[in-house]
């Protein structure tokens, strides 16, 4: 019976709009708007209840190091600044370790690219089988030559199974992705090496565009020649 009751078409009761006399108060709140407002209100109410419960069970003797390492600014906890925590020598050592890791990843990616390229090259350049035919006369030789030319014109890639085709295409996609990754890592390595050199002592200045030998978009610096003792 319930299925038959639901099959009967019913009239969709629409909610009324804001009366013309009350247009100055904006849109009339619908039931779905009330549901969202009620859910937000109850969520805030539950959060306040949990905070009150947590505060009531708080141990007055508890201690955390964050209590002395942070400060409150406008009701928000600000951690202690760690800008001057490391010395210049320690920063240079960390920068060197980071550059070494990036260089190691570049070399690893290049080895993988070389291995993958050699595998794909050997797969694409497989030697075709050669057959030697013997004919009794010229007519038979012409017939054999026409047949062999038709067989050679047919693409060899069509005889490859679909599984091998999909694997080859995925390998080419992987090769392109690894080449792109190597370019990004090399760019990152160059930027980190430049930042490391800029942290070293010595007078230097940034060259202007008309002072550069070769045009480039990257900044170029020139160090002042110092006499070594």
Q: State whether 174 and 114 are in the same domain.
A: yes
| Structural domain of 40 | 25-57
Average pLDDT across the chain, whole number: 80
Q: State whether 29 and 116 are in the same domain.
A: no
pLDDT in tens, 7-27: 888 888 777 888 889 989 888
Mean pLDDT for the stretch of residues 162-167: 79
CA contacts within 13 A on the Cβ side of 6: 3
Mean pLDDT for the stretch of residues 97-105: 87
Q: State whether 171 and 115 are in the same domain.
A: yes
Burial class (CB in 10 A: 0-12, 13-18, 19+), 196: middle
131 inside domain: no
Q: Which of 57, 73, 103 is a domain's end point?
A: 57
DSSP 74: T
Beta-strand runs (E) in 98-208: 204-206
Contact call for residues 28 and 18 (beta carbons, < 8 A): yes
Mean pLDDT for the stretch of residues 113-142: 72
Q: State whether 116 and 174 are in the same domain.
A: yes
Distance CA 51, CA 43 (A): 12
The per-residue pLDDT for 165 is: 77
Determine the distance from the C-alpha atom of residue 229 to the mean position of all C-alpha atoms in its chain, rounded to a whole number: 49
226 inside domain: no
75 inside domain: no
49 inside domain: yes
Q: How many independent structural domains does the chain possess?
A: 2
Share of the chain above pLDDT 90, in %: 14
Share of the chain above pLDDT 70, in %: 86
- The token pair at 193 is 């090496």
Beta-strand runs (E) in 21-83: 70-73, 76-79
222 inside domain: no
Measure the N-to-C terminal CA separation of the chain; round to a whole number of Å: 104
101 inside domain: yes
pLDDT of residue 2 exceeding 80: no
Residue 45 pLDDT class (50, 70, 90 cuts): very high
154 inside domain: no
Helix (H) or strand (E) holding 117: helix 88-124
Q: Which of 35, 57, 79 is a domain's end point?
A: 57
Q: Which of 10, 40, 57 is a domain's end point?
A: 57
152 inside domain: no
| Global pTM value | 0.45
Q: State whether 97 and 181 are in the same domain.
A: yes
């Amino acid at each position: 019976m319930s299925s038959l009751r639901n099959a009967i078409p019913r009239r969709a009761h629409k909610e009324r709009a804001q009366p013309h006399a009350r247009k100055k108060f904006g849109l009339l709140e619908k039931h779905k708007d009330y549901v969202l407002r009620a859910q937000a209100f109850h969520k805030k109410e539950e959060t306040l209840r949990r905070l009150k419960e947590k505060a009531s069970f708080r141990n007055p003797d508890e201690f955390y190091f964050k209590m002395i390492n942070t400060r409150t600014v406008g009701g928000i906890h600000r951690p202690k600044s760690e800008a001057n925590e490391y010395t210049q020598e320690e920063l240079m050592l960390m920068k060197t370790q980071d550059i070494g890791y990036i260089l190691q990843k570049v070399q690893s990616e290049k080895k993988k690219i070389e291995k993958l390229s050699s595998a794909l090259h050997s797969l694409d350049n497989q030697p075709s089988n050669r057959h030697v035919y013997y004919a009794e006369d010229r007519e038979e030789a012409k017939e054999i030559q026409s047949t062999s030319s038709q067989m050679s014109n047919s693409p060899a890639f069509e005889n490859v199974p679909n599984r091998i085709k999909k694997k080859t295409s995925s390998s080419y996609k992987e090769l392109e992705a690894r080449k792109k990754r190597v370019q990004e890592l090399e760019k990152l390595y160059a930027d980190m090496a430049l930042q490391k050199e800029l942290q070293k002592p010595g007078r230097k200045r940034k060259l202007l565009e008309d002072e550069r030998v070769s045009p480039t978009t990257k900044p170029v610096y020139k160090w002042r020649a110092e006499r070594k003792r």
